[in-house]
Amino acid sequence: MGYIMDLRAIVGSRPLIMPGACVLIFNENRELLLQRRTDTNDWGTIGGSLELGESLEEAAARELFEEAGLTAKSFKFITVLSGKDMYYKYPHGDEIYNVMAIYEAQEIEGNPKVNDEESHELKFFTLSEPIVNLNPFTEHYLRKAGYITEW
């Protein structure tokens, strides 16, 4: 079990502050890779929470490989988002306040593939038009980071 699961065993579904990293992966057409998540059944970005002793960049690299089978030569830091706007309640009741470092993966190696139990599928999307069934939290931070400006 990971750090957050260990905490959940103690505190239940009460709100936690969850630091983590989100990785944006763009193809040559500037389409964004999203995963249809198994926990919410909607489309979200690759990413997750920190494990003990892990840096944000290490978390980004780990999540990129775990969730999409990809590696990156480097990560371009975009921004950190936090505060009341970063609150999220999962369908099963767990509550979190995310502190999310957003990175763009650079010089990606490999072909995207579902690589763990957190995804149903992976797919590239254009950000110029609305994405059906986009996780509202994901939409929020893509807007805050400037990737979505109109819809």
pLDDT at 29 exceeding the cut of 80:
yes
Mean pLDDT for 71-91 is: 93
Q: What is the CATH number of the domain that holds 101?
A: 3.90.79.10
User: Using one digit for the tens of pLDDT, what is the confidence trace for 33-62?
Assistant: 999 999 889 999 999 999 999 999 999 999
In a domain, 93, yes or no: yes
pLDDT at 1 exceeding the cut of 60:
no
Q: Which helix (H) or strand (E) holds 77?
A: strand 71-81
Cα dihedral 17, 89, 86, 83 sign: negative
In a domain, 150, yes or no: no
User: Using one digit for the tens of pLDDT, what is the confidence trace for 84-132?
Assistant: 989 989 888 999 999 999 999 999 999 999 988 889 999 999 999 999 9
* Cα(111)–Cα(96) distance, integer angstroms: 31
91 or 70: which leads in pLDDT: 70
Q: How many domains, in total, are found in the chain?
A: 1
Alpha-helical regions (H) of the chain: 3-11, 56-68, 136-144
In a domain, 149, yes or no: no
What pLDDT does 79 receive?
A: 93
- Model confidence, pTM: 0.90
Mean pLDDT for 16-30 is: 96
In a domain, 151, yes or no: no
**DSSP states along 10-36:** HHTTS-EEEEEEEEE-B-TT-PEEEEE
Domain containing residue 37: 3-144
Partners of residue 77 on adjacent β-strands: 103
